[in-house]
Amino acid sequence: MKTTAFFLLVAIFFQTFCLQVQQSFAQDAKTLAMTDLADSQAYLQKMMKLAKPRPDYSKQIEALLKKMTLEEKVGQMTQLALGMIIKGRDQDAQIDPAKLDKAIVKYGVGSILNVSDQALSVDKWREIVGEIQKASGKTRLKIPNIYGIDSIHGANYVRDATLFPQEIGMAATWNPLLMHRAAQITAAETRAAALPWSFSPVLDIGRQPVWPRFWETFGEDPYLAKVMGAAFVRGLEGDDLRSETSVASSLKHYMGYSFPLTGRDRTPAWIPENYLREYFLPTFETAVKSGARTVMINSAEINGVPGHVNKHVMTDILKGELKFDGFIVSDWEDIKKLVTFWRVAPDEKEATRMAVMAGIDMSMVPNDYSFADLLIQLVKEGKVPMTRIDDAVRRILRVKYELGLFENPMPSDAAKSNFGRPEYAEVSLEAARESLVLLKNDRNTLPLAKNKKVLVTGPTADSLISLNNGWTWVWQGSEESLYPKNKPTIQKAIEQKLGGRNFEFVQGTKITRPPNSPSNGTPTDIDVETDVEKAVDKAKDADTVVLCLGEGSYTETPGNVTDLTLSETQLRFAERIIATGKPVVLVMVEGRPRIISRIADRVSAILLALNPSSEGGTAIADVLFGDYNPNGKLPFTYPRNPNNLIMYDHKLFETEETGFGNAANRAQFDFGFGLSYTSYAYSNLKLSSATFPAAGELTVSVDVKNTGARAGKETVILYVRDEYATLSPAGKRVRRFAKIALDAGQTKTVTFKLNKDDLSFIGSDNKPTVEPGEFTVMVGGQSGKFTLK
Assess contact for 622 and 628: CB atoms under 8 A.
yes
> How crowded is residue 645: how many other Cβ atoms within 10 Å of its Cβ?
18
Q: What share of the chain is helix, strand, coil (3-state, %, to 5)?
A: 35, 20, 45
Active-site choice (150, 331, 361, 649): 331
Question: Tell me, what DSSP letter sits at residue 120?
Answer: B
Question: Measured on CA atoms in the order 572, 576, 577, 583, is the torsion positive or negative?
Answer: positive
Q: Is 265 exposed, middle or buried (0-12, 13-18, 19+ CB in 10 A)?
A: buried
Annotated active-site residue 331? The verdict is yes
In 313-469, at which residue ranges do the beta strands (DSSP E only) sit?
A: 327-329, 363-364, 437-441, 454-457
| Integer Cα distance of 10 and 2 in angstroms | 12
- For residue 255, whether the previous peptide bond is cis, meaning omega lies within 30 degrees of 0, is yes
On the CB side of 108, how many CA atoms lie within 13 Å of its CA?
Answer: 19
H/E run at residue 13: helix 2-24
- Going by C-alpha positions, the residue among 442, 612, 437 that lies closest to residue 544 is 442
**DSSP-assigned states of every residue in 174-242:** T-HHHHHHHHHHHHHHHHHTT--EE---B------TTSTTGGGS--S-HHHHHHHHHHHHHHHH-S-TT
Assess contact for 396 and 196: CB atoms under 8 A.
no
Q: Which residues pair with 716 in a beta bridge?
A: 738
Crossing angle of helices 40-50 and 222-237, rounded to 10°: 40
- Going by C-alpha positions, the residue among 39, 71, 27 that lies closest to residue 697 is 39
- Grouping H, G, I as helix, E, B as strand and the rest as coil, residue 569 is helix
The maximal CA–CA distance of the chain, rounded, in angstroms, is 93
Which residues form the catalytic set?
Answer: 331
